[in-house]
Chain A
Amino acid sequence: MIVAIDQNLCTGCRECAQVCPVCAIEGEQGKPQVIQTERCVMCGQCIQKCKSYVSLLDHGNDAYDRIRKERNLPDSVQEPLFAAYSVCSLDKVRTALKDGCTFTVVQCAPAVRVAIGEEFGEELGTLTPGKLAAALRKLGFDRVYDTNFPADVTIMEEGTELIDRVNKGGVLPMFTSCCPAWVKFLENNYPELKDHLSSAKSPQQIGGAIFKTYGAELDQRKASEIYSVSVMPCTCKAYECDRPEMKDSGYRDVDAAITTRELAWLIKEAQIDWNALREEEFDQPFGMYTGAGAIFGVTGGVMEAAIRTGYELVTGESIPQVDVTSVRGTEGFRTALIEVGDLKLKVGIVTGLKHVIPVLEAVRAGTLDLHFIEVMTCPQGCVSGGGQPKLLMDTFSEEAYRARREAIFDHDRELTYRKSHENPAVKKLYEEFLEAPNSHLAHHLLHTTYCND
């Protein structure tokens, strides 16, 4: 189990049950709560919500050290510990980093760079890609790559798949598949709609499969020597990388997924002075990314990225406005009509998993007239993920989400390339290795199937 509630610490306030999108938290008011694991999608919103901390008064002087040890957290962790928590996977990452024979590769998701600075006292939503790269290199990773690169690849694969479905009368609407909690929710509750999910893997898994194949070739390494870590704003990504089918490189495509908070612990444990770090670049070629990859971290971002590329693939012309503002916003479900040449593309965006239920019901009833729907489990997409820095007061949430979201859009605007298909490293990947989006090899490595249990 990745997300858990400590029965000795839970006060039974049931605040977590209010934010759980799948009603997986059960228990009487005032009594410790239990997570129903078969319903839980591991989104970690309960972890973000819980305020029931290990207290000197309630639990005694020795409780903190004991619980920190039980949870396998670094001894350097001094921050409050709470009843709801996620299982710490730093041990295996540390072992890989220490082992001289292992070639360690790391990728970090778009939302990590707009939040991790908060753990070191920076303002909410401070954009720190350079410090993030520098810290990962100081920790000893042999290659510091970026999930924004495979996010660009996701757009090539998923966009091509969508165009194909639209042109050839495939299953529509097509849903995005980047968010593992959403995928698990559909698999658990609406398995008959599984063909509506894009077969493209999430950026994390696309990155994992590329690093151990094409990446291994470029570095002249055996895939078996590579240990691949991802840093995610998400607690569910650890579940995704452990899914049995995620081994198309011939090995575990991603060996360990850690959260933004866990990376901050690792940085503190290594006594790296975050505030004194000089900015560095990500390693090439998988550190090359566009603004389209960067905006995956906010609700509507995958949709916007797909439209920027889809428009040009369909019409052969440049999109008149790179900023597709009609798909931005924070409402739980919103729709937009995008004119792509002669095609009137009808799209929907869901953020906050509970908003997807009426959408799924309408799809099941055949009454939803949309081509493409983005779904993200967390309240405003990955910037508000369950593995992100936890706010001390809920009253900061809106400001934190706003600041992180704006930082992502600022980053998008400042990048040289803003459309996935213009990413030179993506072009090269297809020229040298994959041949074309949705090619046989691309299908083998970068696409998946659902409901395999």
Chain B
Amino acid sequence: MMKKELGSFVIGDGRRCTGCKACELACFMVHNQKSNHVGMTVGTVGVPVVPRLYLTRFEQGCMPIQCKHCEDAPCLNVCSKGAISRIEHQVVVDEQLCIGCKDCMQACPFGAITLLPYAKDGCLVPQSGSSETKVFAAKCDLCKDIPQGPACVNACPHQALRLVDPEAEREEKNIKAANALFYMKNW
């Protein structure tokens, strides 16, 4: 079976998205529960909201844009510090190793990576040798350590985000096509 040989990713639907940012906030929350003691309410947050997907406005409306977890990932290939790796099928950034060089940002064809402040234990972490805040390449990791799967998908009030299993979806389309062809008599 080829199943799960291709990595999953989350995709947004610009026709359903209202631009409410519930996805960004949920993304931030689940990635900071352990590292920055974020609880379930806003008052437990003591660090800047750093999401890993980006609500994007365009002429026709808005939708979140996030990492496709490319099979031949340009960000991973270009990272000179070895801070980006593939864990199972996901392309994942090691925030501690990241030096904020922006190579991955430049390489990503979707703009799914940006550099944002790095916080730990409820405090912003300074850069080595400077009082400026350390930044890291913030991108979707498909909530790899989070039990209920991608938080953005669960948080969206309009089901405008979907976890795609590309191979399973292709097989499903094959079956639909086969059904359609089976009942077509005049060829």
A297 part of interface (Cβ distance < 8 Å)? no
Which positions 103-145 of chain A face chain B at CB distance < 8 Å?
118-122, 124
Minimum Cβ distance to chain B for residue A310 (Å):
37
6 A–B contacts from the bound complex (CB under 8 Å): A51-B20, A52-B21, A56-B48, A79-B44, A392-B38, A395-B155
Say yes or no: A121-B44 contact (C-beta < 8 A), given A15-B157, A30-B62, A392-B26.
Answer: yes
Q: Which of A12, A119, A120, A393 contacts B22 (CB 8 A)?
A: A393
B162 part of interface (Cβ distance < 8 Å)? no
A394 part of interface (Cβ distance < 8 Å)? yes
Interface string of B21-44 (1 = CB under 8 A from A): 110111001000000011111111
Interface string of A145-185 (1 = CB under 8 A from B): 00000000000000000000000000000000000000000
A392-B26, A392-B41 known; 4 new pairs, CB 8 Å cut-off, are: A30-B62, A55-B24, A118-B40, A393-B40
Asked if A80 contacts B42 (CB within 8 A), the reply is yes
Minimum Cβ distance to chain A for residue B34 (Å):
12
How many residues of B are in contact with the other chain, CB < 8 A?
Answer: 34
A367 part of interface (Cβ distance < 8 Å)? no
Asked if A393 contacts B41 (CB within 8 A), the reply is no
A29 part of interface (Cβ distance < 8 Å)? yes
Cα A118 to Cα B49 in complex, Å, equals 19
Asked if A79 contacts B157 (CB within 8 A), the reply is no
Asked if B43 contacts A118 (CB within 8 A), the reply is yes
B114: nearest residue on chain A (CB-CB)?
A: A57
Cα A122 to Cα B55 in complex, Å, equals 31
Question: Using Cβ atoms and an 8 Å threshold, which residues of chain A touch B26?
Answer: 392-393
Interface string of B161-185 (1 = CB under 8 A from A): 0000000000000000000000000
Which positions 378-395 of chain A face chain B at CB distance < 8 Å?
389-395
Cα A236 to Cα B46 in complex, Å, equals 27
A72 part of interface (Cβ distance < 8 Å)? no
Cα A121 to Cα B72 in complex, Å, equals 41
A445 part of interface (Cβ distance < 8 Å)? no
Question: Using Cβ atoms and an 8 Å threshold, which residues of chain A touch B116?
Answer: 56-57
A78 part of interface (Cβ distance < 8 Å)? yes
Asked if A55 contacts B40 (CB within 8 A), the reply is no
B45 part of interface (Cβ distance < 8 Å)? yes
B47 part of interface (Cβ distance < 8 Å)? yes
A261 part of interface (Cβ distance < 8 Å)? yes
Q: Which of A56, A122, A389, A392 contacts B29 (CB 8 A)?
A: A392
Minimum Cβ distance to chain B for residue A258 (Å):
14
* Interface size band for A: 35 or more
User: Shortest 8 CB-CB distances between A and B: which pairs?
Assistant: A119-B43, A13-B20, A389-B41, A13-B18, A390-B42, A78-B46, A392-B29, A51-B21
Q: Which of B19, B21, B154 contacts A395 (CB 8 A)?
A: B154
Query: B-contacting residues of A (Cβ < 8 Å)?
Result: 11-15, 29-30, 51-53, 55-57, 64, 78-80, 118-122, 124, 261, 264-265, 389-396, 400
Cα A122 to Cα B151 in complex, Å, equals 21
Asked if B19 contacts A13 (CB within 8 A), the reply is yes
Cα A296 to Cα B49 in complex, Å, equals 36
Which positions 74-116 of chain B face chain A at CB distance < 8 Å?
114, 116
Say yes or no: A79-B20 contact (C-beta < 8 A), given A51-B25, A391-B40, A395-B155.
Answer: no
Asked if B61 contacts A30 (CB within 8 A), the reply is yes
B54 part of interface (Cβ distance < 8 Å)? yes
Say yes or no: A11-B21 contact (C-beta < 8 A), given A80-B49, A394-B155, A395-B155.
Answer: yes
Question: Using Cβ atoms and an 8 Å threshold, which residues of chain A touch B7?
Answer: none
Residue picked from B21, B48, B61, B154, most chain A C-beta under 10 Å = B21
Cα A390 to Cα B45 in complex, Å, equals 11
Question: Using Cβ atoms and an 8 Å threshold, which residues of chain A touch B47?
Answer: 78
Say yes or no: A53-B25 contact (C-beta < 8 A), given A261-B43, A391-B41, A395-B154.
Answer: yes
Asked if A119 contacts B41 (CB within 8 A), the reply is yes
Question: Using Cβ atoms and an 8 Å threshold, which residues of chain A touch B42?
Answer: 79-80, 261, 389-392
Asked if A15 contacts B18 (CB within 8 A), the reply is yes
Q: Which of A15, A78, A396 contacts B20 (CB 8 A)?
A: A15
Cα A424 to Cα B35 in complex, Å, equals 49
Say yes or no: A57-B43 contact (C-beta < 8 A), given A11-B19, A51-B21.
Answer: no
Cα A160 to Cα B21 in complex, Å, equals 49
Cα A266 to Cα B45 in complex, Å, equals 16
Say yes or no: A394-B157 contact (C-beta < 8 A), given A11-B21, A12-B19.
Answer: yes
Minimum Cβ distance to chain B for residue A83 (Å):
10
Question: Using Cβ atoms and an 8 Å threshold, which residues of chain B touch A124?
Answer: 40
Q: Which of B20, B29, B61, B151 contacts A52 (CB 8 A)?
A: B20
Say yes or no: A30-B41 contact (C-beta < 8 A), given A78-B46, A393-B155.
Answer: no
Cα A118 to Cα B117 in complex, Å, equals 26
Question: Using Cβ atoms and an 8 Å threshold, which residues of chain A touch B44?
Answer: 79, 118-121
Question: Using Cβ atoms and an 8 Å threshold, which residues of chain A touch B50?
Answer: 56
Asked if B49 contacts A53 (CB within 8 A), the reply is yes
